[in-house]
């Protein structure tokens, strides 16, 4: 099956209706294999990760036309690509224009002993240089599911990223001695910030920022506040406003049931558990997250855009005073499982 990247471009930039606004779909590239994430380069080109372990360049040439460079970027580290494992997110350094540094997250190790790893590298336009691992999850896990992997910069320059629960021992999401089922926060060089919420706590890994997550695959920082969504099982997908030290409940609270229809827990809420901003049951399988504040679609401003694999859509979730409003289902005409959604520098989606 061919996979493509597409821009969603407004036909009427001044549309103001709260309903679906007119747009057109423009194919940017075809022939990619499981594209997972992308980053916009200062020159208008794109870097795209492919889950099997390749980093690709989509070059923007004359008259704004795009072309997929045939050869992958050299120097990408070895990636475990099996099941849900592979090359995941790409994130440019805040000062990329000066130091050309970027981060990659990926599955590292073997099918029976694997980790989420984050590396820093310098991109010279053709290859990655000075590659340095800055995080490797602990302990090793023994299945190729639920890695998380999405990354975002916090305003203080620290890195925030999600780690899935591994799916085999989901109660690890509530345990402090493991990175499984957590959001984690580190310095760009891998050091632990001194103000992380569990620094100095006996039996707790110091990188932990929040806990109780199943498989987070979207994280975005808006006005200094991090937001994230995560996959539930058969229902119970969540959109959350993250906070240091907060517990988001998995698996002791959830709105979903297991894939066998067995009950996971009798509780949808408990004291000490932060409730989600919104929840999707049945599951839409949220897999990418963007905040829309662009000019091309003024009716969509102050909305979350949630890429959905199972629903084969993008959900628009408008926000007002921190509260989600009525949702809109977009782009089902593509008929594809949508892995990621991003807003370009020009406001195109």
Cα dist. 84→106, 131, 269 in Å?
11, 24, 29
CA distance from start to end of the chain: 23
Mean pLDDT value across residues 251-273 = 97
Three-state DSSP class for residue 98: helix
pLDDT at 4 over 80: no
Three-state DSSP class for residue 46: strand
Three-state DSSP class for residue 43: coil
- One-character DSSP codes across 181-230: TEEEEE-TTSPPPTT-TTTT-TT--TTEEEE--S-EEEEEEETTEEEEEE
Using a 10 angstrom Cβ sphere, with 0-12 exposed, 13-18 middle and 19 or more buried, the burial of residue 214 is: buried
Name the percent of the chain lying above pLDDT 70: 95
- The predicted pLDDT at position 194 comes to 98
The encoded tokens of residue 160 equal 């925030």
Let me know: does 70 contact 130? Beta carbons within 8 Å: no
Q: List, for residues 22-78, the tens digit of each pLDDT value.
A: 899 999 999 999 999 999 999 999 999 999 999 999 999 877 789 999 999 999 999
The encoded tokens of residue 293 equal 């504040």
Three-state DSSP class for residue 160: strand
**What fold is seen in the domain 27-287?**
Neuraminidase (2.120.10)
Long-range contacts of the stretch 152-155 (C-beta < 8 A, 24+):
152/91, 152/219, 152/220, 152/221, 152/226, 153/91, 153/94, 153/221, 154/185, 154/221, 154/224, 154/226, 155/221, 155/224
Positions annotated as catalytic residues are 146
Angle at CA of residue 1, ends 107 and 79, nearest 5°? 15
pTM comes to 0.95
Q: Where are the domain boundaries for CATH 2.120.10.30 in the chain?
A: 27-287
pLDDT at 8 over 80: no
Let me know: does 58 contact 29? Beta carbons within 8 Å: yes
Q: List, for residues 91-119, the tens digit of each pLDDT value.
A: 999 999 999 999 999 999 999 999 999 99
Q: List, for residues 284-326, the tens digit of each pLDDT value.
A: 999 999 999 999 999 999 999 999 999 999 999 999 999 999 9
* C-alpha span between 118 and 266 (Å, rounded): 36
pLDDT at 14 over 60: no
- The predicted pLDDT at position 61 comes to 81
- Give the closest residue to 40 by CA, choosing from 92, 97, 76: 92
């Amino acid at each position: 099956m061919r996979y493509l990247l597409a821009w969603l471009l407004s036909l009427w930039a001044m549309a103001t209706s709260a309903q679906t606004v007119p747009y057109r779909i423009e194919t940017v590239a075809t022939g990619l294999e499981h594209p997972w994430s992308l980053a916009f380069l200062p020159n208008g080109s794109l870097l795209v990760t492919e889950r099997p372990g390749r980093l690709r360049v989509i070059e923007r040439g004359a008259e704004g036309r795009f072309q997929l460079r045939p050869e992958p970027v050299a120097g990408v580290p070895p990636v475990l690509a099996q099941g849900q494992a592979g090359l995941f997110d790409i994130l440019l350094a805040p000062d990329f224009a000066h130091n050309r540094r970027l981060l990659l997250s990926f599955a590292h190790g073997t099918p029976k002993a694997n980790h989420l790893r984050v590396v820093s590298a310098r991109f010279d336009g053709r290859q990655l240089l000075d590659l340095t691992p800055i995080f490797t999850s602990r302990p090793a896990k023994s299945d190729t599911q639920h890695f998380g992997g999405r990354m975002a910069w916090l305003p203080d320059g620290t890195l925030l990223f999600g780690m899935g629960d591994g799916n085999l021992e989901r109660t690890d999401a509530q345990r402090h001695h493991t990175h499984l089922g957590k959001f984690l926060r580190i310095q760009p060089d891998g050091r632990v910030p001194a103000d992380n919420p569990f620094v100095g706590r006996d039996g707790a890994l110091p990188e932990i920022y929040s806990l109780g997550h199943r498989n987070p695959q979207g994280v975005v920082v808006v006005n200094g506040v991090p937001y994230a969504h995560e996959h539930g099982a058969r229902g119970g997908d969540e959109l959350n406003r993250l906070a240091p030290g907060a517990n988001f409940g998995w698996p002791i609270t959830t709105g979903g049931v297991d894939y066998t229809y067995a009950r996971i827990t009798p509780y949808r809420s408990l004291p000490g558990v932060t409730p989600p901003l919104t929840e999707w049951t049945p599951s839409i399988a949220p897999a990418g997250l963007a905040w829309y504040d662009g000019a091309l679609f003024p009716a969509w401003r102050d909305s979350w855009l949630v890429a959905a694999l199972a629903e084969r859509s993008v959900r628009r979730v408008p926000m007002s005073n921190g509260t989600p409003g009525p949702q809109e289902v977009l782009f089902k005409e593509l008929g594809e499982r949508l892995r990621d959604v991003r807003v370009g520098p020009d406001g195109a989606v």
